[in-house]
Structure 1
Amino acid sequence: MKKKALLIFTLIFWMVAACTFLSMKVEQEMIPQVTAVEPDRGVGWDKDPTLPADCIIEDENGQHVYSIYEGTGWEAGTRAAEVSGWFQMEDKIMLSNSWGDFVQYSSKPLREGELLEVLRGGDKVEDRWLAVFPEGLELELNWDGAELPKGVSVEEWNQNAVQLHIDDDLAPFMQGRAKSRVPNLAGATVYSFNDMYQLLDNFTAFGLLLGILTLVLVLWICSCVFSRKARRNRWALIVNLALGLALLICVPLVLDSIDLPSSLLPRERITDFGAIAGAMDQFFGALKGFAPQAEAAGGLSAALPESEAGQAIIMAKNDVLVRPVLYAVLGALLGGVIALAEYVALWNANRPRLTKGRRYN
């Protein structure tokens, strides 16, 4: 009974420690990144302060304006507070009376009281945007002849989506900032190629975490079997315990390599895998929508867009999508190999041996 309790406690300790590391990483990754702007109070003492219209953040619950404040006590840190009593007049937001900074752009929709990372400036990077328009929306714009800002060019488009090349986008990507730069994207869901590549780059780390988990579970099951004869198999139990501790140390190292793009994360829970999968389906589905029809291609269509950038990111997705499952299987197989090696070593050490007897005359 004591052996079983000790084994169960060991597994619980390992899982609690791993979940602690994971929760710390999740809390860090879920913090939205925002840019700040101060209200324009004009020159008159009785003039209402105003904000640019792109400070309005839209989500499924409507339109919101957020101010930035410093919390205290249990709510210490830079946080978002929703503002009431505002109204839009042309390209400005009229405020009744407000002080401090306000959120202008955010990497994802915000929540009341949420921690924020306020960015000042940013690096300019080359990027591509994929704007997906709602179904049923008839686009009257001909993107081939559209007037676009400097540094923005069209690579592919159809009636449902458009792929743009951006020479000097500010990192990190923020959908509101993209729509402000290209007003023709109003009403669309805009994705960043750089952010999608960043998400795909993390699939290897996801696979390593699953591989570590399956390996630990296999070693724990084998330890349960070996514990039936603990004194006889004590060295195998010690080896499995050492391996478990070493794998626990590897968990924060793997987590440290994970860097998720904020624009593709769910609003509230990182475990909302459906939201992430939905974004990927919409992104890659729109890219495949650029593929020429079989008749136009002169044969069977490969369901690939014509642009090299679109083809490259689809191939990258196909390369990494199965890695988590593959690494989980490899972790289980490695655990089985270690258990088999321990069993063979124990059998060889404990098998009866023949000894030569003495001959007496």
Structure 2
Amino acid sequence: MLFALAWRNIWRQPRRTALSLISIVLASAITIFLLALQQGSYSAMKENVLSLLDGFAQVQPEGYADDPSLRKAIDEPDALAARLETLEAVTAAAPRALTYVILSNGPRSYGSAVIGVDPSIETKVSTLDASIKEGRYLKPGDDGVTVIGAGLARNLKLKVGDELTMLGAARDGSVAADIVTVVGVFATGAPEIDRQVIETPISRFQSIFAMEGEANMIAVKGRRLADIQNALPELRTIAEEEGLVLRNWTELEPALHDVIMLDASFSVLLYVSLVVVVVFIILNTLLMSVLERTREFGMLMAIGMRPSEIGAMVWLELLFLAGIGAGLGIAFGAGITAWVEGRGLVFSGAEALFSQWNMPSTLYPDLNWTTALAGPLAIACSIGLAGLVPYARVRRLEPVSAMRAA
């Protein structure tokens, strides 16, 4: 009976009910779209930044992250990379060697990181080859060549075809020197990469820096970052069996992780504020309804209905509003989000901003069960909890005083 009475009561004032439902529907739809866009942006940001150079995870010697020394090396990196690629989540594993050198072109000298890569595998892990703006990327069979960041090339006054002198220390402590030819200039949009990184074939690197077929890390890539995240236990087991450590994306890009967490924190405040505003709007509407119906409640108590039953009826009215509003909000919000997800949301004029994270200026929301349900359910549950206020108020009513209410 209470359900039937509550359902009938919410339609006694159709205009008030419609306005309340519109508030819940719009708030639910907004949270769905913003949360999906936010998650889609985070996923794109992480995958694009990591795909540029780091990979989705890396296997390294113990302590290499704190002290990246040539002496901390991986024996038989090709065999380990092949073993990692046997995992279903891993699409490619690329051995790399890295050290720091002085680069010179005539009187100009700059410090830089030089990375030795296998051109036949590296393009499956890194998208650096897609950032080449002059010349070409490394290819199998190359020897004595390098690709260089645009900022570094500008500082050293280098162009494609010029020779570049490298001077550093080999693994055995001897002086390592080489002259390489610039075959390509890349521009990633990330200043710390464009001004500080060059790449050369790993075979040449191993010869010059006395690495003897060893590498300093193995970069791992999957179809999606989520696939590698799910496979972290298996990857970590393989690394530990070889006496190595596995570093996931948060360890490889801590600054990116901090940026995402900071943005997520501010977003939570926005969502909480939106939920609170909607809850107070609906609660105020219901409290006004309770005040207007005080005499009606008094008459119901006079004919034998208990205050707790009346309070439950009022609470059910609010739950009906919350449930209907949340359901319509999910349908409306998910529909709009799915439509945008299929076409993308273009941010014209923001290309320079997005290029800092190696991202296109078109973002795609990520509509899934979490983004579709989290906001509407939070709103509905909050409204349901707020319904305890009118419920408690109605339970305190006395029949005589309630019937005398103006």
Higher RCO structure, 1 or 2 (CA under 8 Å, sep 6+): 2
TM-score above 0.5, yes or no: no
Q: Which has the higher helix share?
A: 2
TM superposition score normalised by structure 1: 0.30
Structure number with larger C-alpha Rg: 2
TM superposition score normalised by structure 2: 0.27
